[in-house]
Chain A
Amino acid sequence: MSNAKKKEMIAMLLAGGQGSRLGILTNHVAKPAVPFGGKYRIIDFPISNCVNSGIDTIGVLTQYRPLELNAYIGNGQPWDLDRLFGGITILPPYMKAEAGEWYKGTANAIYQNIEYIEMSRPTYVLILSGDHIYKMNYKMMLDYHVQKGADCTIAVIDVPYEEASRFGVMNTDGTLKIYEFEEKPANPKSTLASMGVYIFNWEKLKAYLIADETDKKSENDFGKNIIPKMLEADEKMYAYEYKGYWKDVGTVESLWEANMDLLNPEVPIELNDPPWKIYSRNGFLPPQYIGENAVLKNSSISEGCNIDGTIENSIIFPGVTVQKGATVSNSIVMPGVTIGEGSVVAYTIIAADTVIGLNVKLGAGKETLPEGTHPDISVIGQNIIIADDTVIPAGAMVGESIAKKESE
């Protein structure tokens, strides 16, 4: 399109994954749309990072359960992305002249949108995923990429040696030039884990994407195919070391932990950061009302809540009601949930719009656990009803309503 403005760098955000390790939390929504941190969704983090880094053109690649994500992103106004040029565009797979196909892999998803990228004629393309919680200035990474004269720069984070084998690990020389990439190595040679954040010179990447598409054996994946092929061809690839907070929230446990990190002043993720706000689509709820019986300790509570119970070490999303005598601790309560009188909720994630009856016990478990550990996190699904007096043990995953037991 000749009337589009040329952009130095645009972002492509891979948001098509199901996130099956989050279990019933992704029954209705794609992982990037999962609520996080009291009023956000996971995808608010990479999008806000882009906007705060001066990137105003973002393509969001969707495939799995995109409806809620599409509605959430809308015209991009909450992130200041309703732009004359660029802005945010949802990119689902579509029919081409001869055929149409699903996104086969991360690289194929970008390949299928070459035309979209070319509209902005970018020099660089930033590839992101919608699975991580972090605040990062991509402009600084681009400066580094340009300064190194790199073809590809991969953001890495130094992880403890024991954990390195869970990640894609970059083996680098003294100048941080990458000479080898190992996906989940049993015996890692380095502790620099890939964050799934890449900057490519667009012309270079395009050539590799086109070549990869003709390779019938390829899985069309960045980590498995594109990066190794570029290394093999001795392209200039550098690691960019990121020092801040970064967390993959791909599992129930890590999602819970990342939420709890927000309540821990020792953990360096401060969301109350005016020059680096995390933007989100806000509802139209009144301020929260805290009743006469409420007891609140070390918790984060959002708009529209009506709290008359006890909340400790918990993250409460908008529009939640906690009635008198109910206790919520070490838990995450997503939007619109009601928790009835006398219920006790511990180490539980409750998904949106669910109703917990009276005197329900969620996350009930053994009283004594080894020090430094916590009970397994239980998960209660979206929009269901848990009847009065139900007891749900720690670590359970409940996806359907539980009716009241017939009188015993």
Chain B
Amino acid sequence: MSMKVLGIVFSYADRENLRELTKIRTLSSVPFGGKYRIIDFILSNFVNSGIQEVSIITRNNYHSLIDHLGSGKEWDLTRKIGGLRILSPFSNPGGTDNGTYLGTIDALSKNMHSIKRSLAEYVVITGSSFICSIDYDEIIRSHIDRQADITAVYARQRPDFELPDGIPLLRMDDQERVNELCYFNDDCDPNTTTFSLGMFVLRKSLLESLVADSIAYGRYDFYRDIIQRLSNQLNIRGYEYRKNYFEISSVSGYMKENMRLLKEDVRRQTFEMPVYTKVKDSVPAQYGAGSKVSNSIISDGCRIEGTVINSILSRGVVVGKGAVVQNSIVMQNTEIMRNVSLNYVILDKDVIVRESRQLVGHETYPVVIEKKSII
């Protein structure tokens, strides 16, 4: 990429109810697809598009994110020029500012000292609610070709995806010019099914002035106060993303979206470009003499003696003899002992399920077991 580009990631989301899964971690560090976390897909998209400077805006619960990212070397983002920066909230002891953000614009404003220092010409802003495999280089080229002020990446609803409440929808004319933003189930034309993927491209200088103006008028929300309010004044263009996406905002959606990875075409689209993650140096997966595995994703370091069907296992999961794991998601280093039976269960990291326990959830309401629980 000839242009210098800064990636900005919002590692959290307001529109999210992942219950126990985000109690102990921010949205972007939620595990997905076996060995990955949501942030891995976001950073890999940047790196695969030639973007080598990324700032991550954090708000709360970001401990696990920092732990996962380390110096950024696994994403090749340990750079002298650019590289990875984690922007944590800043609060002054004794000051009136307690370190929280009043909205996305406020978050950008409070981190402007860092954003301003970057020599990038363009910024790509993204949230953490969507996982996709996207080429930003192409989007920036289209942004320049169409002389857009802001390019908003959108997707169309696919048949098996129910629009979650509050998802921002974009209405566009036949030139993809955005003329209205509204929220699903709120104030929207029911025929609008094109929704924002939470990704925007604009010049960094424009972002800086839009943020400064908004703050001056006490306006804090990027969607409402920039995209919606300024849609008449600015040339805001939609860019349609046509490949597979995953949307993560509810537990049942999380389960469904993970399970879609068991389809070959979904896997192919998701991993067309390399997805980088923290290297754990786990041993290859070991399958014992009594194992039976069908239609499942299994990560390194797993040791399987029992049965695993239609499930996704992260690294270092142990499934004991006689155990049956079906339609479930099992996170890192969780141990399922002998003769356990699981169906529609999400087991977080470091859980131990003792011998012969049975846990049954439902597709629409999976059982979620918190990190480090012993059942």
List the interface of chain A (C-beta within 8 A of B): 37-39, 77-78, 271-272, 277-280, 282, 284-292, 294-303, 311, 315-316
Could you list 16 A-B pairs, sorted by A, with CB under 8 Å? Answer: A38-B283, A77-B73, A272-B283, A272-B286, A286-B35, A286-B270, A286-B271, A286-B275, A286-B297, A296-B293, A296-B304, A297-B288, A300-B284, A303-B284, A311-B287, A315-B284
Question: Which residues on A sit within 8 Å (CB–CB) of B281?
Answer: 78, 277-280, 282
Indicate if the CB atoms of A300 and B285 lie closer than 8 Å.
Answer: yes
Q: Tell me if B283 and A294 are in contact (CB < 8 A).
A: no
Task: Name the residue among A290, A291, A298, A311 with the largest chain B CB count within 10 angstroms.
Answer: A290
Q: Are A286 and B267 in contact (CB under 8 A)?
A: yes
| 20 further contact pairs, Cβ within 8 A, besides A296-B291, A299-B286 | A39-B284, A39-B300, A271-B283, A272-B282, A284-B274, A286-B267, A286-B271, A286-B275, A289-B297, A290-B295, A290-B296, A291-B294, A294-B293, A297-B287, A298-B289, A300-B285, A301-B284, A301-B298, A302-B300, A303-B299
Quick one: given A286-B33, A286-B34, are A301 and B287 in contact (CB under 8 Å)?
Answer: yes
**Chain B neighbourhood of A272, CB < 8 A:** 282-283, 286, 301, 303
A296 and B267 within 8 A (CB): no
Among B281-337, those with CB < 8 Å from A are 281-289, 291-301, 303-304, 308, 313
Q: Indicate whether B276 reaches chain A with its CB closer than 8 angstroms.
A: yes
Instruction: Report B290 CB to chain A, min CB distance, Å.
Output: 8
Nearest chain B CB to A295's CB is how many angstroms away?
Answer: 8
Classify chain B: how many residues form its interface, as a range: 35 or more
Counting from the closest, the 6 A-B pairs by CB-CB distance are: A38-B284, A284-B274, A287-B34, A296-B287, A302-B284, A287-B299
Give A272 to B33 CA distance when docked, in angstroms: 23
CB <8 Å contact, A291 and B295: yes
List of B residues within 8 angstroms of A298 by Cβ: 287-289
Instruction: Verify if B216 is at the interface (C-beta below 8 Å from A).
Output: no
Question: Which B residues are CB-close (under 8 A) to A316?
Answer: 284
Quick one: given A301-B285, A302-B284, are A287 and B300 in contact (CB under 8 Å)?
A: yes
Are A292 and B295 closer than 8 Å at their CB atoms? yes
B279 within 8 Å of A by Cβ?
yes
**B interface residues with partner A (beta carbon < 8 Å):** 33-35, 73, 262, 267, 270-271, 274-276, 279, 281-289, 291-301, 303-304, 308, 313
B33's partner among A38, A77, A287, A297 (CB-CB below 8 A) is A287
Pairwise interchain contact A289-B291, C-beta atoms closer than 8 A: no
Given contacts A271-B283, A280-B281, A282-B281, contact A290 B34 (CB under 8 A): no
B287 touches A299 (CB 8 A): yes
B133 smallest CB distance to A (angstroms):
12
With A294-B294, A303-B300 known to touch, is A288 a contact of B285 (CB < 8 Å)? Answer: yes
Which residues on the A side are within 8 Å of B293 (C-beta)? 290, 294, 296
- Chain B residues near A296 (CB-CB < 8 A): 287, 291-293, 304
Contacting residues, chain B, for A37 (C-beta < 8 A): 284
Instruction: Determine the distance from Cα of A301 to Cα of B302 in the docked complex, in whole angstroms.
Output: 10
Check if A297 sits within 8 Å of B284, measured CB to CB: no
Shortest CB-to-CB span from A366 to chain B, Å, is 26
CB-nearest residue of chain A to B35: A287
Bound CA–CA A79/B289 (angstroms): 33
Residues of A within 8 A of B303 (CB): 272
Contact check, A290 vs B294: say whether CB atoms are below 8 A apart: yes
Report how far A299 CA is from B287 CA in the complex, Å: 5
Q: A298-B288, A298-B289 are in contact. Are A287 and B283 (CB under 8 A)?
A: no
**What A residues does B267 contact at CB under 8 A?**
286, 289
Contacts of B294 in A (CB 8 A): 290-292, 294
A284 touches B288 (CB 8 A): no
Report the Cα distance A282→B275, complex, angstroms. 12
Contact among B270, B282, B291, B297 for A288, CB-based, below 8 A? B297
Least CB distance, B328 to chain A, in whole angstroms: 15
CA–CA, A279 to B281, complex, Å? 6
Residues of A within 8 A of B304 (CB): 296
Q: Are B285 and A302 in contact (CB under 8 A)?
A: yes
Q: In the complex, what residue of chain B is closest to A303 when comparing beta carbons?
A: B300
A39 and B299 CA atoms in complex are apart in Å by 13
Task: Indicate if the CB atoms of A282 and B283 lie closer than 8 Å.
Answer: no
- Pair B279/A78 contact, Cβ less than 8 Å: yes
Residues of B near A297 (CB, < 8 A) are 287-289, 291
Closest Cβ of chain B to A305, distance in Å, is 9
What are the residues of chain A within 8 A of B274 when measuring CB–CB? 284
Q: Give the distance in Å from the alpha carbon of A331 to the alpha carbon of B291 in the complex.
A: 19
Please state if B295 and A282 are interface contacts (CB–CB under 8 Å): no
Q: Which residues of A contact B33 (CB under 8 A)?
A: 286-287
CA distance A302 to B297 in the complex (A): 12
Interface centre among A280, A291, A296, A298 (most CB of B within 10 A): A296
Give the nearest-CB partner of B295 in chain A. A292
Cβ A300 vs Cβ B286 within 8 A: yes
Smallest CB–CB gap between A245 and chain B, Å?
A: 15
How many whole Å from A49's CB to the nearest CB in chain B? 14
Give complex CA distance A296, B304 in Å. 10
Q: How far is the CA of A39 from the CA of B308 in the complex (A)?
A: 23
Residues of B within 8 A of A294 (CB): 293-294
> Do A287 and B286 have beta carbons less than 8 Å apart?
no
Q: What is the bound-complex CA distance between A271 and B301, given in angstroms?
A: 10
Residues of the A chain whose Cβ atoms lie less than 8 Å from the Cβ of B299? 287-288, 303
Bound: A38/B326 CA distance, A: 27
B298 touches A287 (CB 8 A): yes
Q: How far is the CB of A285 from chain B (nearest CB, A)?
A: 8
Contacts of A300 in B (CB 8 A): 283-287
Q: Which residue of B lies closest to A38 (CB)?
A: B284
Contacts of B298 in A (CB 8 A): 287-290, 301
> How long is the Cα–Cα vector from A300 to B288 in the complex, in angstroms?
9
On chain B, the residues within 8 Å of A289 by CB distance are 262, 267, 296-298
CB proximity of B344 to chain A, nearest CB, Å: 19
Minimum CB–CB distance for B108 against chain A, Å: 31
Q: Could you tell me the distance between the alpha carbons of A320 and B305 in the complex, rounded to whole angstroms?
A: 22
Across-interface contacts of A284 in B (CB, < 8 A): 274-276
For the complex formed, measure the closest distance between the CB of B341 and the CB atoms of chain A, giving whole angstroms: 20
Closest to B274 in A: A284
Contacts of A282 in B (CB 8 A): 279, 281
Contacting residues, chain A, for B270 (C-beta < 8 A): 286
CB atoms of B297 and A287 under 8 A apart:
yes
Name which residue of chain B comes closest to A307, CB basis: B293
CB nearest to A302 among chain B residues: B284
- Give B314's nearest chain A residue, CB to CB: A287
B271 CB to nearest A CB, Å: 5
For residue B293, which residue of chain A has the nearest CB? A290
Least CB distance from B295 to A in Å reads: 5
Please give, as numbers and ranges, the residues of chain B lying within 8 Å of A271 by CB-CB distance: 283
Tell me, in angstroms, the Cα distance from A280 to B34 when the chains sit together: 20
CA distance A303 to B288 in the complex (A): 17
Instruction: Give the distance to chain A from B17, nearest Cβ to Cβ, in Å.
Output: 27
How far is A49 from B190 in the complex, measured between Cα atoms in Å? Answer: 64
